[in-house]
Amino acid sequence: MCYKVKVKASIEDLQKRYDAVFEQKLEELHEHEEASGFGHPHLPVITSENNSKIQLMEWGLVPGWVKDEKAAAEMQNVTLNARSETLFDKPSFRSILKKRCLILINGFYETQHNGKHTIPFFIHLKNSALFALGGLYDEWVNTNTGEIFRGFSIITVPANPLMAHIHNTKKRMPLILPQQNEKDWVKPDISEQQIKSFITQYPEADMQAEEIKKQSDTLSLWE
């Protein structure tokens, strides 16, 4: 699964890398060394509704049919990720056909289980400081306040060999989109078949994982 990410980039770096204009005010972009989905942070995304702008959106999707605030809060915690195998079947993720997004990050964290011990890793790409995860989003209207809530889910796929070694219980990884596919993912009018063609494992040869140890230790690299 994917529940923690790193997002540390300036607005200028984000705009240059993704050829898009930042929508929010400068002070609204916060850097995250380790952002947890369960804290529902606002992260930079590009959506299929407005693919020329970078905007901030909360992690955790709430479908439009959710009835009240209590149900919305519960829904957010179970929609941090969306499994690719059931993505087109679950009512929570019906928005995939029209509302897709890029989640703009530097890397993500996963934990390896070794008996009673756990070993955290930071995973990133070898040749790019920033990259995009494939996701979907939706809108929910709070009937008590009239506020429109917009949240996203990160799509996950079966792990490639590197990630299967690290995430050795669930053996999952987030959907990493190659740079050449990013703009196509957020085109508003692509078909279900085209969407499915983008949902693949990212090659392990282009990824690097760093074991996170105590500050006094050096990092162990898996390539």
One-letter amino acid for residue 92 of the chain: S
Task: Collect all residues with Cβ–Cβ distance below 8 Å to 169 and sequence separation of at least 6.
Answer: 113
The DSSP output letter for 164 is: H
**What is the C-alpha separation between 189 and 176, in angstroms, rounded?**
21
Task: Collect all residues with Cβ–Cβ distance below 8 Å to 54 and sequence separation of at least 6.
Answer: 14, 15, 18, 20, 21, 22, 23, 44, 45, 46, 104
**What is the C-alpha separation between 120 and 68, in angstroms, rounded?**
36
One-letter amino acid for residue 178 of the chain: P
Contact 207, 125 (CB under 8 A): yes
* Annotated active-site residue in 2, 101, 182, 204: 2
The conformational region for residue 195 under phi > 0 = left, psi -120 to 50 = alpha, else beta, is alpha
2 noted as active-site residue: yes
The tokens for 14 are 């984000």
101 noted as active-site residue: no
* Annotated active-site residue in 28, 31, 49, 110: 110
Residue 65: name the closest of 12, 4, 141 by CA: 141
Enzyme catalytic residues: 2, 110
